[in-house]
Structure 1
Amino acid sequence: MRKPIVALVGRPNVGKSTLFNRLAGEPLAIVDDTPGTTRDRLMAEAEWNGRYFFIVDTGGIDPSTGGKEALSVGSADYIQQIRQQAELAIREADVVLFLTDAITGVTPADQEVAQILRRNQKIIEGKPHPPVLLVVNKADNQTFRSGAAEFYELGIGEPYPISALHGTGTGDLLDDLVAAFPSDTEEEEDDSVKIAIVGKPNVGKSSLLNRLVGEERAIVSPIAGTTRDAVDTKIVFEDIEITLIDTAGIRRRGKIEPGVEKYSVIRSMRAIERADVALLMIDATTGITAQDAHIAGYILEAQKSTVVLVNKWDAVEKDNFTMQNYTSRIRQELNFMDFVPILFISAKTGQRVDQVLPLALRVQEERLARLTTGQLNRILQNAQDAHHATSRTGKSLRIYYGTQVRSDPPTFLIYVNDPKLAHFTYLRYLENAIRKEYPFTGTPIRLVLKPRR
């Protein structure tokens, strides 16, 4: 059984992201005074009175077309795409929260959103689906709460006056929201494999997501920086549940603009933190750059498994040595991650895209692999016999024994006479000795040294 999905919809700048953050319990969605800040859908888990559900934040449904002035000042170039994303969220939702603004009252834009909601509803067992709860936000005082009655003219039903910023009225709203959930949904743990698609701006992350999913799930644009939030998409591949996380492009710190883009980068980093496997996308037309190496460093610091995807391979002029030369350059620039597999793809044409998920899942299996204590100690003994570690004082590092204490990622506890005697280069030597026995493809491993008398 699955968790219910609740979509937050409305015209721009009515406080959808503020309510999203309140329900999620943390600032996941970007909140900005500029209308049109939220572009893609953003999903998070929420809970009320023991009921768990997913909430989906959407970009504002902007009715402005043609010569009309756009409400979404910050996203005027994406109005139609944002609208399509919001309508897709409505169709997927179990319940919709239609947000309006108590301060401005009913507007023509609200009327059009109400029409869109009615158009996307289906009658199931004599009732409209998904059910819609009309939320009148920014009702921060009694005057605004009393004035909420005017929103009956939208024909949606009883208005719920609330303040998403201060939490006023949200309890009654959530009580009725939970009561509106369909009976065939109940809480379940998310044990899906989480795969984050990361990289610098405009390398084709959203295009790859759409190709993997098989539908236009994320906004695709040739303009760098289109995706601002991390977006979760659930799919099933070969009977395995997968959560694909599309993320905003990560620029170098010196080139991160203040405000909205800054918070987008933070969310991309959080997406890496909660992923099992990161798909690091590199633009084949520009080759690997210093920023690609920086992002790889972020992934390694988070101890996540990795697959390097060289995208736009169809746009590169090739000879018999092109792929080999690209691989050598990548290995050189990412020498601290020489254990990761490299796959050359084209999200545009679909070239080798069918190999992406199988390779990511194989890397995830490697992440969960375990060595027996006997295997590990044989490897450590042979490595120590072949090459002793000596310090500047002439004192040698002695390894007594080791054991794998956890997986995800593989972590090895090694008892030694003095951890300070282990130089970084010798730890790399031990890591390579372990990988020679079992490669742990695409997965970082941790060596933890502990003193023992």
Structure 2
Amino acid sequence: MDMPTVAIVGRPNVGKSTLFNRLVGKKLALVDDRPGVTRDRREGDVAFGGLHFRVIDTAGLEESDAATLMGRMRMQTEAAILAADAVLFVIDARAGVLPADQPFAELVRRAGCPVILIANKAEGGTGLAGAYEAFTLGLGDPIPFSAEHGEGLGELHEALKGVLPKPDPEDDDADEDAPGGRSLKVAIVGRPNAGKSTLINRMLGEDRLLVGPEAGITRDSISLDWEWRGRKIKLHDTAGMRRRARIDDKLEKLAVSDGLRAVRFAEVVVVLLDATIPFEKQDLTIIDLVESEGRAVVIGLNKWDLVADQPGLLKQLREDCTRLLPQVRGVAVVPLSGLAGEGLDKLMQAVVQASEVWDKRISTSRINDWLSEATSRNPPPAVSGRRIKIRYATQVKSRPPHFALFGNQLNALPKSYTRYLVNGLRETFELPGTPIRLSLRTSENPFDKG
């Protein structure tokens, strides 16, 4: 079949060409801070995690007379939209939704093809408020994204996979939709010499990866196909992650960067600890990184066959985990031995369960029943004599579960109260171990005009 096409559209200077370069993997499109640098449609072929498509970078959409240069650029963009199988509609998350975005959102809607809304320039969580303003465009859930830093690529991949035509069955990558279902993407990460490659070799039942006592043997992020209980799994072995200050070798720096990319593409990340020296500072840093990337987490205690007093130690380590990692409270902690092949089935059960929790959707009515009870039991504090009121809550996306609260003066809500709400969501709706995101929106609830 012909390669599907994806058009990148949006007003000038929202980062369309940077996104184009990111997808193509080369700096084909000129990028500058000045708006309107792109004038012609630029096309490039993309191979993106098993997806193959042609991407079109378009001129920034502006209202202009058809006879002018800007008008002709707009016509080129409209032609690209009409020919596309899917549209990536890009806004600037830091600027939020501007009046200029609205007519072009209407244009894209009228075209009738699938639209993926990208709130660009949201690196490190900045611009999230602007990203959620994008709901007003009526184009679905926005993906907080950073074309410059590669944040949000995993979410974009999932969205594209849902809207692009299915690949030809003869295609090498068509196994994603073969009987047995889509592959669950699992990354194995940890400090150097935690036993990641040994564990994967044991899972595969062959010495597929080079192993040895020396730390840092693995340099590339290796992707391997595997099947567990009839479930397709795509395993990513990664280079050991060390503190940046300790990395001198350029190849190792590249390898660690590759490992970060594997985390971003994964759905579940197994953080492998050495049970003989668990929860070192670097282990906590890695788990914190995985949580900040919004991935489901499972902790594997490798080399369990080398420790004494296993029941007592396991109880102690699970208590340590609750104390040291409140941001992933309830995370599965699984003792195992990659070398001896012990605990692998329990590890995979925990991985599949973590992916289901990460993908969980909760109805708005259930969330608001919980919210009413939670705020009655422990009301929000008052600010300047006026009580903060949370009127309404909804889940805006999953993978990981992300909730939005609407009310008045929510920007003054103390961190201790947002922690109370997050913990309540986690316990009430059984969301152990997964990152939970909470957006606070000072706005009227459309269902509560009082």
Correspondence for 1:238 among 207, 229, 247: 229
- For residues 331 and 443 of structure 1, the distance between their equivalents in structure 2, rounded to whole angstroms, comes to 13
Match of 1:297 in 2: 288
Among 228, 232, 236, the alignment partner of 2:219 is 228
Q: State whether residues 226 and 233 of structure 2, in contact with CA within 8 Å, keep that contact through their aligned partners in structure 1.
A: yes
Number of residue pairs the alignment of both structures matches = 286
Q: Which residue among 329, 342, 358 is the counterpart of 1:338? A: 329
CA distance in 1, matches of 2:432, 2:213: 33
List runs of 5+ in structure 2 lacking aligned partners: 1-20, 27-46, 55-167, 177-181, 445-450
Contact 2:411 2:440 in 1 (8 A): no
| Matching of residues 241-320 of structure 1 within 5 Å | 241-318=232-309, 320=311
* 1:183 shift after superposition: 9.9
Correspondence for 2:25: 26
Counterparts of 1:286 and 1:280, CA distance in 2? 14
8 Å CA contact 1:396, 1:421 repeated in 2 = no
What residue is the counterpart of 1:188 in the other structure?
174
Change (3 A) 1:273 1:319: closer
Contact 1:307/1:342, CA 8 A, preserved across alignment: yes
Partner of 2:93: none
Provide the C-alpha distance between the structure 2 equivalents of 1:294 and 1:417, rounded to a whole number of angstroms.
35
- Structure ranking higher on relative contact order (CA contacts 8 Å, 6+ apart): 1
Aligned to 1:405: 396
SS where residue 294 of structure 1 aligns?
helix
Q: Which structure has the bigger radius of gyration?
A: 1
1:447/1:222 CA distance change after superposition, 3 Å = same
Distance 1:245 1:426 in 2: 38
- Partners of 1:391 and 1:421 within 8 A in 2: no
Q: Distance in 2 between matches of 1:344 and 1:207?
A: 15
| 1:451 corresponding residue in structure 2 | 442
TM-score, structure 1 as length reference: 0.59
How far has the Cα of 1:319 moved from its partner? 5.7
Give the Cα–Cα distance (whole angstroms) in 2 for the partners of residues 321 and 48 of structure 1.
51
Q: Distance in 2 between matches of 1:276 and 1:183?
A: 24
CA distance in 2 between partners of 1:183 and 1:189 (Å): 8
Q: CA deviation at 1:236?
A: 2.0
**How is 1:380-419 mapped onto 2 (pairs within 5 angstroms)?**
380-390=371-381, 393-419=384-410
- Cross-structure match for 1:34: none
Q: Which amino acid aligns with 1:427?
A: T
One-letter code of the match for 2:325? L
On the 8 A contact 2:50/2:173 being kept in 1, the answer is: no
Matched residue, 1:356: 347
Give, in whole Å, the separation in 1 of the partners of 2:424 and 2:51. Answer: 47
Structure 1: tracts of 5 or more residues without a match:
1-21, 28-42, 51-181
1:411 corresponds to which letter in structure 2? H
Percent identical: 31
Measured after TM superposition, the shift of residue 322 of structure 1 is: 2.0
**Structure 1 CA distance for aligned equivalents of residues 205 and 340 of structure 2:** 13
**Deviation of the 1:218 alpha carbon:** 1.2
- With normalisation by structure 2, the TM-score equals 0.59
Give the superposition deviation at 1:187: 5.3
Paired residue for 1:212? 203
Map of 2:179 onto structure 1: none
- CA shift in 2, pair 1:252/1:444, >3 Å: same
